[in-house]
Amino acid sequence: MEDPDTAVQARAPNTKDRLIAAAREIMIERNAVEFSLQDVAARSGLNSALVKYHFGNKDGLLLALLERDAELSLKQVERLVARDMPATEKLRIHISGIIETYFRKPYMNRLVHQLIHERGDEPANAVLRFFVEPLAGFQRMILEQGVMSGEFKRVDPGFFYHAVGSACDALFTWHPEARRIWGVATISDAQRRLYADFVVDLVLNGLVRRD
């Protein structure tokens, strides 16, 4: 028999949004992708059974959260690719944008890897379809534009995707080390901007043609 409180909460128009927002807040606060459904229930003020009702299970909740994050990010990259500007400037904006995304949502890259490598074929295929393949495709377009315009050397787009993604996330994945490097407990927005400049310079120095 269905719990009456669960049934009423499930009909609320913003129930799914509240569950997704609660999971996102927990991961940001903990700088981790691990949490329990009880954590989500306590944060959202909703019954944890609603996760199963709306998403099937915890993986379904994580996929829904990541798909929302990915949709926003991919729309920004798509608009960037369509702009009339040099590929070098597009790449500079793109890399800075990735780092800002990971600064705001430090769980994101780790969640991608967890869903692809640890949760089985169904979540992995979903993430590859709605996020990894489109993002890699947009990056390939920028790289190809740069090669055609004479700005870039030709590089393997797969290597580029993995190397740049890892570099952009490194500061946030290993943030405890920042306490020893900078003597701070958290990464500030100013440090995020400095790191973006560093990674952009690092990538472009290896990519831009010098002849």
The chain-wide mean pLDDT, for the chain, equals 88
Average pLDDT over residues 166-189: 73
What is the pLDDT at residue 206?
83
Domains of the chain: 1-56 (1.10.10), 61-207 (1.10.357.10)
Length of the chain, please? 211
**Spatial separation of the C-alpha atoms in residues 33 and 37, rounded to whole Å:** 12
Q: Is the pLDDT of residue 211 over 90?
A: no
Contact 92, 80 (CB under 8 A): no
Task: Specify the pTM.
Answer: 0.83
**Spatial separation of the C-alpha atoms in residues 113 and 104, rounded to whole Å:** 18
Average pLDDT over residues 44-50: 92
What is the pLDDT at residue 56?
92
**Spatial separation of the C-alpha atoms in residues 159 and 40, rounded to whole Å:** 37
Give the pLDDT confidence of 105-152 residue by residue, as tens digits. Answer: 989 999 999 999 998 899 999 999 999 999 999 999 999 999 999 999
For the chain, give me the number of helices (H) and strands (E)? 12, 0
Which ranges in 107-156 belong to alpha helices (H)? 108-117, 121-127, 133-149
Q: Of 39, 17, 42, which Cα lies nearest the Cα of 30?
A: 39
Give the pLDDT confidence of 69-104 residue by residue, as tens digits. Answer: 999 999 999 999 999 999 999 999 999 999 999 999
**Spatial separation of the C-alpha atoms in residues 65 and 126, rounded to whole Å:** 12
Rg from Cα positions in the chain? 20
**Spatial separation of the C-alpha atoms in residues 73 and 111, rounded to whole Å:** 15
pLDDT band for position 181 (cuts 50, 70, 90): low
Instruction: Decide: helix, strand or coil at residue 152.
Output: strand
Average pLDDT over residues 156-176: 85
Handedness of CA 39, 119, 74, 108 (dihedral sign): positive
pLDDT band for position 178 (cuts 50, 70, 90): low
Lowest mean pLDDT among 96-110, 152-166, 188-202: 188-202
Chain centroid to Cα 176, Å, comes to 20
What is the pLDDT at residue 161?
94
